[in-house]
Chains A and B, each alone.
Chain A
């Protein structure tokens, strides 16, 4: 099945956890070649939204679509096109960096997986420690590995939850470059972050999620942080 990922569309998406409403009638569209920042205070529902976008959670009501394809009917062909970096890093601490990437590469059915993993280890600056158990890595090293795991299969929809956490300056710059190249390659990038200075200039636009409701941040003048504060004050 060929699924076009030219858009990611949320239409009136609501998600409840018991009596608590995490998302309330959220609607927005992300287009191919866009880097969209999803901003909001802690507990606003950003991770829930990413989980729904990645097919891991179903909305209580509303509709999510990848191009024209409904997420409710998402199967393996759709999931193959999605890369998710979650708050928990999705790597096995008992396995080495190379073993983690090889495992996920094979699970995604990649051909020439050894070459792809070598390149990913270079990208993560872990080429000199491929056989070290991840349990011995620092938070930043784990984060770099997790980013490579999420991008290993060249996904068309990239969902990144706090991707800059624990990264040093050089790694932050490398990730900014990576986001720019993902945009050029036509992927949809939806990321959550509190490091607004880091994504200022990289994100094409920003959405603000407060109390489960989403609004577009005005693309006015001034640094992203100031615009975000103004929007939060109004909300």
Chain B
């Protein structure tokens, strides 16, 4: 069983279940949209938004809805303890981590596809002025957040207070990702778009991604078997 085949099998299974139930997608999108609307009611006055609010709100919505998606994605594996069934299979255990990460990423990208234009509309933010840089920034930030979140959500799957512990563990560690995401996005939303600054934050995000994914791949198996 090759690494990539395991990733494909587990990810396909996750997406098939989500396609059938649409439970995580609907709840996550609904939560993220609600979050954005609340901010819009508070921060948009007479059609004008508070300066730089859009970048922060975009990343808050991603972080909060991401936490919700991570919790729900692993709740499925908890119901019949199927995560242990995956761990006992003769597959590379890090491949199982990568598959779960890809599944969460696919969901978060779908959420971002809805909320990014919504924020651009409500906050009159030029989020699509540099679409490529913005897209890569979003992707890099989402990968960093989901890489740590997937590891913690898997670790906590059998913990009684997992719903409380997940954000408590996740947010302090992903603070650099959120800061880099917000500052990079802010640089793109300025009147004089500051591409070099955005790229600098993007480079930092890519470094975080490399560190977080390496650490997660390294620690996943020992953490899950002890």
Range, interface on chain A: 20 to 34
Q: Please determine whether B82 and A90 come into contact, CB atoms closer than 8 angstroms.
A: yes
Q: Please determine whether B87 and A76 come into contact, CB atoms closer than 8 angstroms.
A: no
Partner of A91, one of B1, B21, B82, B88: B82
Q: Please determine whether B80 and A91 come into contact, CB atoms closer than 8 angstroms.
A: yes
Q: How far is the CB of B225 from chain A (nearest CB, A)?
A: 6
Q: Please determine whether A92 and B81 come into contact, CB atoms closer than 8 angstroms.
A: no
A92 and B86 in contact, given A57-B226, A103-B13 (Cβ under 8 angstroms): no
Q: In the complex the two chains form, what is the Cα distance from A82 to B88 in whole Å?
A: 8
Any B CB within 8 A of the CB of A118:
no
Any B CB within 8 A of the CB of A14:
no
Any A CB within 8 A of the CB of B91:
yes
Any B CB within 8 A of the CB of A95:
yes
Give every chain B residue within 8 A of A73 (Cβ-Cβ). Answer: none
Bitwise, B89-100 to A at CB < 8 A (1) or not (0) is: 111100000000
Any A CB within 8 A of the CB of B121:
no
Give every chain B residue within 8 A of A55 (Cβ-Cβ). Answer: 88, 225
Among the listed stretches A104-112, A120-128, A175-183, A221-229, which one makes contact with chain B, having 4 or more residues with CB under 8 Å of it? A104-112
Give every chain B residue within 8 A of A103 (Cβ-Cβ). Answer: 9, 13
Q: In the complex the two chains form, what is the Cα distance from A82 to B17 in whole Å?
A: 27
Which B positions have Cβ atoms within 8 angstroms of A? 1, 6, 9-10, 13, 16-17, 20-21, 76, 79-82, 84-92, 225-226
Which A positions have Cβ atoms within 8 angstroms of B? 54-58, 76-77, 79-80, 82, 84, 86, 88-95, 99, 103-104, 106-109, 149
